[in-house]
Structure 1
Amino acid sequence: MKLPRSLRTAGAPALLALTALVALTACGTSQAGSGGKGSGDSTVAVRIPDPGNSGVLALGKKDGSLDKALAKEGAEVKWTGSAGPFAPAAQAMNADQLDVATGSITSGITSLAQRPGFKFFTAVAPDAAGEGILVRNGSGIGSVADLVGRKVAVNQGGTGEYLLLKALAKAGIPADKVTRVYLRPDQTAAVFNAGKVDAWAVWATYAVAEIGSGKAHFVADGAAIGSDNYSLNAVRTDFAEQHPKVVKALYQYLHEAGAKEKRNPAAYLNVFTDVGPTAVTGKAKAVQVEFTAKGGTVEPIGPEDTKRFKAVAAFYAEQKVTRAEVDVAAHLLDIGKLT
């Protein structure tokens, strides 16, 4: 299970992060920001981005099951802002304006290269079916090799840039043979569909609608690329130290609910509404159901996961995405040791 699915130029990441951080912090409560307390002095508030219309957290919000699970440890959720890119969420955790967020190991590594105030506490295996290099039908691009001399949209330092670089490396193609166009993922669809870029390195959050339209497909998916792009849940370090049992209860909820979602994906779509821009309908709904059924579930981070995180960090350093290899292992929590 993954938490809810969220024109950037190369010079705009700081502005994007600041804008999203303001959106997150503006929605926070003064109680949560000042001491992590909820409506009562003894209740711990867990600040999580609003989950939107689909996914485990959306259903947990609607039916109250998440609060019920956390109440056993004296906690409750304070929904704040909205789910989106991990970079601004990481900044919000660093600023004590958010307690929990989700992101990929790739975006996590670039955030860890700063001064992180968070740690990762769960892992979902890489999405072999739902992420990859998207091309328009009839584009003439039949393989990764056909990307040479073309423009590919990616989100800088995150999943998109990783998928493209990984695909090129596996095909033995120098990275500079393909032009990376840095765009915000939530603004890329229009550029992609207008033909201003030739391909889009992207994940299920945005790929589902494009594939569901019947006008695009993956020229290489996560499995073909050999992606190690795990989805991770992060928690603010101070929060985890102060409330380890709450973090463990949240993990248990996500693990159990994610297994249910995998068995019956359709039940976790269109939780609040089946119409409008947040609804998944038509062929896109079938695509999403298929991707979720093939996906992983929330699990503790084990030794094998840590090795693969290190490999991604080494790859990012080799590709000059980060200045040096980031020590991911220093920022991991062992759920089994939280008491």
Structure 2
Amino acid sequence: MILRGQTRRRIIGAIATSATLAGNRAVSAKPSSVLRIGWLKGTNTLTLLKARQEFLAGMGAEGIDVEWAGPFPASSPAVEAMTASAIDVTVGSSTSSVVALAAGAPIVLFTYQPLGPQGEAIIVRKADDIRTVADLVGRRVAVNRGGTGEYLLRLAMSRYDLPEGSLTTVYLSPADAGNAFLQGAVDAWAIWDPWLTIALTRYDARVLLDRSAIGSENAIVTLASEEFVARDPKCLQLLFDALLQANQWAVAHPEQAGSMWAAAMDLPSTLGAPLGNHNAVPERGIARGDLKTLETIGRWYRQAGMIGQLPNLSKAIVELEPSLPAGPERN
């Protein structure tokens, strides 16, 4: 990937606006190495780790300092930062990761978290007369290019036999898509959480097609650079253990996790409960069995003309096993 103009400035800006190292590093008197995490404002376990850094205590004990870069607006610019050797680890969807790998990004996947049933959908306004997928013909639908939104829309079109060109695809970031949806500039929006919960509770929206009706096989994955994995496998294992322990806590305390996600995204505390209940779902190490799902996504992208070639996904996963027992109960 080549970093140009606004993209490079966006990455530099995200890193420059990271909170001070004193407040955002795991405690370590004499760090022997540094782990640079690019975080996103989203309902993922990395965001919880930033909020509850006690799960990273093992890093400090091993002399590893943790630096937080971001927040990045989406996975794509974070992966670009990783390609530029600015960060070591980030998070994204399996769909966006397949697209990044097809473009040659030097990344690997090491955790896998299938989305919950209420984690993504195509939505419309309650007052509009769009009742079926066929009603989208001639309408304007907002998606993020090459990511989850475009995947959801194109998959729905394929599943319900809507021909190419039967509707207008409007490429917008989630934040811009939300404004366009509110103002009536688009008729529908293919989206995931937290924006799905925001739209349903604050934008007078309703679900046209949920994850199951679309047939989505999307998941949240944690990504690392190939260089980092080769350089510091011990640090990778420690982070993996911390992620699983934080996720176990979230599954046991969904509303508390949701409150932390809401705070990280500057959302009203009233959204904490639905965010937690929709997204505090089990996360695990990625496994060979997940390749089938990833390859299905890749083949679908290839057939849809959204990627030029199917990446070698078998070389893009790192299988890890927890080295710690299930995490202790934490309040």
TM-score under structure 1 length normalisation: 0.84
1:289 to 276, 292, 303: 276
Tell me which residue corresponds to 1:6: none
Write the distance in 2 (CA, Å) between the matches of 1:15 and 1:147. 36
SS of residue matched to 1:245: helix
Write the distance in 1 (CA, Å) between the matches of 2:124 and 2:109. 33
Tell me which residue corresponds to 2:208: 219
Write the distance in 2 (CA, Å) between the matches of 1:318 and 1:179. 20
Write the distance in 2 (CA, Å) between the matches of 1:118 and 1:267. 32
Tell me which residue corresponds to 2:285: 300
Structure 1 stretch displaced more, 62-71 or 208-217: 62-71
SS of residue matched to 1:176: coil
How far the C-alpha of 1:133 sits from its partner, in A, is 0.2
Q: Cα deviation per residue 1:82-130 (whole Å; 9 max; x = unaligned)? A: 1431111111111110011001111112211223222111111133212
How far the C-alpha of 1:26 sits from its partner, in A, is 3.1
How far the C-alpha of 1:77 sits from its partner, in A, is 1.3
How far the C-alpha of 1:258 sits from its partner, in A, is 0.9
Question: Would you say 1:159 and 2:148 are equivalent positions?
Answer: yes
Structure 1 stretch displaced more, 14-23 or 94-103: 14-23
Could you tell me whether the CA contact under 8 Å between 1:105 and 1:231 is conserved in 2? yes
Tell me which residue corresponds to 1:320: 305
How far the C-alpha of 1:27 sits from its partner, in A, is 4.8
Structure 1 stretch displaced more, 315-324 or 153-162: 315-324
Tell me which residue corresponds to 1:117: 106
1:248 to 234, 237, 256: 237
1:93 to 82, 91, 108: 82
Question: Would you say 1:143 and 2:128 are equivalent positions?
Answer: no
Residue identity matched to 1:18: R
Could you tell me whether the CA contact under 8 Å between 2:126 and 2:206 is conserved in 1? yes
How far the C-alpha of 1:240 sits from its partner, in A, is 1.0
Write the distance in 1 (CA, Å) between the matches of 2:143 and 2:220. 18
Tell me which residue corresponds to 2:326: none
Could you tell me whether the CA contact under 8 Å between 1:73 and 1:245 is conserved in 2? no
Structure 1 stretch displaced more, 140-149 or 312-321: 140-149
Structure 1 stretch displaced more, 68-77 or 264-273: 264-273
Tell me which residue corresponds to 2:248: 259
Write the distance in 1 (CA, Å) between the matches of 2:11 and 2:144. 18
Write the distance in 2 (CA, Å) between the matches of 1:220 and 1:286. 22
Unaligned runs of 5+ in 1: 1-12, 32-37
Q: In structure 2, do the counterparts of structure 1 residues 14 and 166 end up closer, same or farther at CA, with 3 Å as the change threshold?
A: farther
How far the C-alpha of 1:205 sits from its partner, in A, is 2.1
Write the distance in 2 (CA, Å) between the matches of 1:85 and 1:228. 19
How far the C-alpha of 1:64 sits from its partner, in A, is 3.1
Residue identity matched to 2:8: L
Question: Would you say 1:21 and 2:11 are equivalent positions?
Answer: yes
Question: Would you say 1:231 and 2:220 are equivalent positions?
Answer: yes
Residue identity matched to 2:276: V
SS of residue matched to 1:138: coil
SS of residue matched to 1:335: coil
Could you tell me whether the CA contact under 8 Å between 1:120 and 1:233 is conserved in 2? yes
TM-score under structure 2 length normalisation: 0.86
Could you tell me whether the CA contact under 8 Å between 1:127 and 1:229 is conserved in 2? no
Write the distance in 1 (CA, Å) between the matches of 2:44 and 2:305. 34
1:279 to 252, 267, 273: 267
Q: In structure 2, do the counterparts of structure 1 residues 69 and 180 end up closer, same or farther at CA, with 3 Å as the change threshold?
A: same
Write the distance in 2 (CA, Å) between the matches of 1:118 and 1:55. 18
Write the distance in 2 (CA, Å) between the matches of 1:111 and 1:53. 19
Write the distance in 2 (CA, Å) between the matches of 1:55 and 1:115. 25
Q: Cα deviation per residue 1:266-315 (whole Å; 9 max; x = unaligned)? A: 212344996x9703333x3343133125xx32211122211000000000
Q: Cα deviation per residue 1:29-56 (whole Å; 9 max; x = unaligned)? A: 9x9xxxxxx9766522111134659764
Question: Would you say 1:175 and 2:164 are equivalent positions?
Answer: yes
Give the % identical residues.
Answer: 28
Could you tell me whether the CA contact under 8 Å between 2:55 and 2:246 is conserved in 1? no
How far the C-alpha of 1:174 sits from its partner, in A, is 1.7
Unaligned runs of 5+ in 2: 22-26, 324-331
Tell me the matched-pair count.
315
Tell me which residue corresponds to 1:108: 97
How far the C-alpha of 1:214 sits from its partner, in A, is 6.2
